[in-house]
Chain A
C-alpha cells in the first residue's frame, strides 16, 4: 500500500483501539523473537546455580528445577513457538487456499473428491491424528510444522471454498469469463480480494490454535524437544512444579494468552478493515 494507504490504515487504527492493541502485541512479539538472544540475560540452558528460585530482580520470572532462568527461556522460547505457529499456518494457507478456490471454482467431481477427502480429515479426532502423525514422522520442529499444517489445510480450503462458490456467480466474474479472462487471473483478481476477510479471521484463529496444539503436543512429549525452550514445552514442564510456585507456569502460559490475544484482535481488525461494507468508516 502507498502513502495514502498507510494514512488510511492509521486512521482506521485510531478508530479501532482493539486492532491497534492487537497490532502492537504482534509487532512486539515478532521483535522479541527477532532480538531474543540480545534481550535474554542468560542462555536458555544455562544453569544459574539456583533451583526453583522465586521471581526477583535477578531472575524476573524465577528459575526452574534445572536452575534455568525462566525469563530468558520465555524470551528465547518465543522463537520456537512463533517459529512453529507462523510457518505451519503459512504452509496451510499456501496449500489450502489454492485448493479451496479451485474446488469452489471448478466444482463438479473435482470438488466432491476434495470434499470427501477433507471430510475424512475432519472426522478424525484432531489430537489423535496429530499424535499418530508426529509419532510416525518422529518429533522434531520440522515435523511439528508439517503435522499442524496438514491438520489445517482442509480448514483453510473449506473457508476459501464457500465464498468462492458465491462470488463466482456474480456479474463481474461472469463478465470477465465471457471476455476470456484466464482462471488464475480471475481467481487472483476477483475471488481472492473477496475471500480475504474470512481467510484473515481463519488465519488468526489458526495461529492461536497452532500455539495451543504445539502446547498440547508438548504435554504429550511430542512437541519441541528438550532442553530447547518453547512456551508449550515450558508450560507442560512447569505444570508439574506449579504447586511449588505459580510462577513456574504463569509466564509461559501468559505469553501464549497474550500472543493469542494479539493474533485475534489483529485478525478481527483486519477483517473489518478489508470488509467492503466498512469503507465508509468504522461504525459508531
Chain B
C-alpha cells in the first residue's frame, strides 16, 4: 500500500514539473507585500524547540520539510521520492538536487540527518523526541540519499516528516551556532529579515527558492495584534491584506462585504474536546457519562457557539488530510443522538433521579460559550453544571491533569496524523490520558493504528476506536471546526487555505493592487 502512496507522490511530482515549465504565467504580477495580523506573539521561531503551534505558521515559510501536504495527500518536498522497505522498518528518501539554504550552501543529506538527530538528542530537549522515538537511526547513504531506520513499523512517520511544526529541515552548519530568532537559514520561499517580539515578523522573498519563479510577492509581514477585533479593524483600515478569524462570531463582520473575499476553509480539523474524569466521582459511572452524551444537543451547540459554521465532533476530525474521514452530518456513533428522556432514564438508573452537580473548567472564549450552552442543555436532564473559568489554557490543562477535576474543555490542535490525535490522550499508560482510564481493548487498537501502514485497514481501526470511545464515553466531542476562516483583500490572487490554518500557499500568491 505504501508503494501506492509513493507512486502517487512520483505522479504528483511529475505534475509539478509540468506546471513549473510555464514559469512566465505563474505570476501575472510580481512584487508587493502581504501583511497579516497575527496572534499570539510567536515567542520562539526555532524549529522543533517548543511545542507551540502558532510559531510554525510563520516558520513554515522559512523552512521546508521532506514531504508536504497537498490537496490529495502527501506531496514531494525536499525529497523527490521515497521508498518503504518491504519489512516496513526503513524508508529511503531521494533528495532534491541544487536546493540552496538562505546562507548560501547547498542542501544535502547531512542536513536531514542533523535535523532528526537534533530532535532525538536529549541535550536539545525537543518536545518531539517522544514522537520520533520509533526512529532507530538516520543515515546519509550519499549526498542526496537518506535512510531512516525504525525500531518498529510506525505509520505516522510520513505525516510527521511533512509537518514543519515537527520536522522543519535546518542546516547542520548554522542551526546550533545562531539564535534563530535573529538570523535564520532554511530552504523555504521566504527569508527572515527580523523578528521584533510583540511587534512584527518580517520575511522577504528568497530569490533562489527551488520552486522556480516563486514566490511572486516580495515580502510577508506578520503584525502581532493580540485582539481579534483589532485584527479585523486592521484589515478594514487597509493595514492588512489577509486576516484569519478564529472565532466564528466574527465571520458575519466580513462575509460578503465589498473589498474582500472569503478563502474557502480547507476543512474542519479543530476539535473541542470535553475531558471527563472517568476514574472517580459521579462521572466514573458509565451511565452518567452516557447520559451526558445523549443529553448533549451537539447541533444546538454548533448553531449557537459556531453560528452553524462547524460539524458534529468526533475524535478524528473530518478534514484531516490525508487521513481524515468525513462522517457526514450525523455520525453513526453510539449515544450521539440527542435524547433528553433517555438521558434522564440513564441518570435515574445510576441513582441520580434528583439530579447531580458537576464542575467544568474552561479557559478559551469559545470553550466558555460551549460550557454555557452545555449548562443550559444539561439543566434539562437534571445536571447542574458549575463553570470555572481559568485565566490561561496551560493552567487549565495542568489543573485537569494533576487535580481531580470532573470536566474540562480542551481545544485539541490540528495534528497531521490520527495517531497523534488519539494515542497520547487515550493510551492507558500515557500521563496525559484525558479520561484517566485504562482500557486494554483500546490500547490494542491504538497500537494497531500506530503500526498499520495500509490506509484502508487504518481507516477501519480508527473507526473502531471512535466507536469504542463513543460507547464508553471516555471523552465528549461537541464540535469540529476549521482552524480559522481566512479573508483576503480583492487584489490577492491564487491563495488557498490549508487544514492546519497555515499561510503556506502565500508562496504562489500574486497581487494586482492598483
Contact assessment for B390 and A139 in the assembled complex, using a CB-CB cutoff below 8 Å: yes
Contact with A along B252-277 (1 / 0, CB 8 A): 11000000000000000000000000
**Bound-state Cα–Cα, A239 to B229, Å:** 9
Contact of A222 among B368, B375, B376, B391 (CB under 8 A): B391
**Bound-state Cα–Cα, A29 to B328, Å:** 52
Contact assessment for A243 and B253 in the assembled complex, using a CB-CB cutoff below 8 Å: yes
**Bound-state Cα–Cα, A240 to B368, Å:** 14
**Bound-state Cα–Cα, A222 to B253, Å:** 28
Contact assessment for A47 and B376 in the assembled complex, using a CB-CB cutoff below 8 Å: yes
Q: Is B387 in the interface zone, CB < 8 Å from A?
A: yes
Contact with B along A47-69 (1 / 0, CB 8 A): 10001000000000000011100
A-B contacts, 12 of them at CB < 8 A, read A45-B372, A66-B304, A66-B369, A66-B373, A66-B376, A134-B391, A221-B363, A221-B390, A226-B371, A240-B250, A240-B365, A243-B253
Q: Is A14 in the interface zone, CB < 8 Å from B?
A: no
**Bound-state Cα–Cα, A225 to B189, Å:** 46
A134 contacts across to B, CB distance below 8 A = 391
Contact with A along B370-391 (1 / 0, CB 8 A): 0111011000000000011111
**Bound-state Cα–Cα, A139 to B359, Å:** 14
Contact of B304 among A65, A222, A227 (CB under 8 A): A65
A138 contacts across to B, CB distance below 8 A = 388
Query: If A65-B249, A66-B376, A226-B368 touch, does A221 touch B389 (CB 8 Å cutoff)?
Result: yes
Contact assessment for B387 and A226 in the assembled complex, using a CB-CB cutoff below 8 Å: yes
Q: Is B395 in the interface zone, CB < 8 Å from A?
A: yes
B376 contacts across to A, CB distance below 8 A = 45, 47, 66
Contact of B391 among A65, A66, A221, A241 (CB under 8 A): A221
Could you tell me the dominant secondary structure of chain B's interface residues? helix
A66 contacts across to B, CB distance below 8 A = 304, 369, 372-373, 376
Q: Is A131 in the interface zone, CB < 8 Å from B?
A: yes
Contact assessment for A65 and B363 in the assembled complex, using a CB-CB cutoff below 8 Å: no
B-facing residues in A31-59 (Cβ within 8 Å): 45, 47, 51
Contact assessment for A244 and B252 in the assembled complex, using a CB-CB cutoff below 8 Å: yes
B229 contacts across to A, CB distance below 8 A = 239-240
Query: If A240-B249, A243-B253 touch, does A220 touch B391 (CB 8 Å cutoff)?
Result: yes
In the complex, how many angstroms separate the beta carbon of B481 from the nearest chain A beta carbon? 16
Q: Is A135 in the interface zone, CB < 8 Å from B?
A: yes
**Bound-state Cα–Cα, A66 to B377, Å:** 12
Contact assessment for A227 and B363 in the assembled complex, using a CB-CB cutoff below 8 Å: no
Residues of A at the B interface (CB closer than 8 Å) are: 45, 47, 51, 65-67, 131, 134-135, 138-139, 220-222, 225-227, 239-241, 243-244
Contact assessment for B375 and A227 in the assembled complex, using a CB-CB cutoff below 8 Å: yes
The 10 closest A-B pairs by CB, nearest first: A227-B372, A221-B389, A221-B391, A225-B389, A226-B387, A135-B391, A222-B391, A226-B368, A47-B376, A226-B372
Interface size class of B (residues with CB under 8 A): 20 to 34
Contact assessment for A135 and B395 in the assembled complex, using a CB-CB cutoff below 8 Å: yes
Contact assessment for A131 and B391 in the assembled complex, using a CB-CB cutoff below 8 Å: yes
B249 contacts across to A, CB distance below 8 A = 65, 240-241
Contact of A139 among B372, B375, B389 (CB under 8 A): B389
In the complex, how many angstroms separate the beta carbon of A171 from the nearest chain B beta carbon? 54
A243 contacts across to B, CB distance below 8 A = 253
Q: Given contacts A66-B372, A139-B391, A240-B229, could you give 5 more A-B pairs where the C-beta distance is less than 8 Å?
A: A47-B376, A66-B369, A138-B388, A240-B249, A243-B253
In the complex, how many angstroms separate the beta carbon of A43 from the nearest chain B beta carbon? 11
B375 contacts across to A, CB distance below 8 A = 45, 227
Contact of B389 among A51, A226, A239, A241 (CB under 8 A): A226
Closest to A46 in B: B376
A65 contacts across to B, CB distance below 8 A = 249, 304, 369
**Bound-state Cα–Cα, A183 to B371, Å:** 55
Contact assessment for B304 and A51 in the assembled complex, using a CB-CB cutoff below 8 Å: yes
**Bound-state Cα–Cα, A45 to B371, Å:** 13
In the complex, how many angstroms separate the beta carbon of B391 from the nearest chain A beta carbon? 5
In the complex, how many angstroms separate the beta carbon of A243 from the nearest chain B beta carbon? 6
A225 contacts across to B, CB distance below 8 A = 387-389
Closest to A224 in B: B389
In the complex, how many angstroms separate the beta carbon of B472 from the nearest chain A beta carbon? 29
**Bound-state Cα–Cα, A189 to B391, Å:** 46
A45 contacts across to B, CB distance below 8 A = 372, 375-376
**Bound-state Cα–Cα, A134 to B391, Å:** 9
**Bound-state Cα–Cα, A65 to B390, Å:** 22
In the complex, how many angstroms separate the beta carbon of B395 from the nearest chain A beta carbon? 7
A227 contacts across to B, CB distance below 8 A = 372, 375, 387
In the complex, how many angstroms separate the beta carbon of B363 from the nearest chain A beta carbon? 7
**Bound-state Cα–Cα, A222 to B395, Å:** 13
**Bound-state Cα–Cα, A94 to B375, Å:** 38
**Bound-state Cα–Cα, A211 to B445, Å:** 54
Q: Which of A220, A226, A244: most chain B Cβ within 10 A?
A: A226
**Bound-state Cα–Cα, A239 to B365, Å:** 12
In the complex, how many angstroms separate the beta carbon of A47 from the nearest chain B beta carbon? 6
In the complex, how many angstroms separate the beta carbon of B124 from the nearest chain A beta carbon? 31
**Bound-state Cα–Cα, A225 to B389, Å:** 6
Closest to B368 in A: A226
In the complex, how many angstroms separate the beta carbon of B334 from the nearest chain A beta carbon? 28
B372 contacts across to A, CB distance below 8 A = 45, 66, 226-227
A226 contacts across to B, CB distance below 8 A = 368, 371-372, 387, 389
B368 contacts across to A, CB distance below 8 A = 221, 226
A51 contacts across to B, CB distance below 8 A = 304
A-facing residues in B33-66 (Cβ within 8 Å): none
**Bound-state Cα–Cα, A175 to B368, Å:** 63
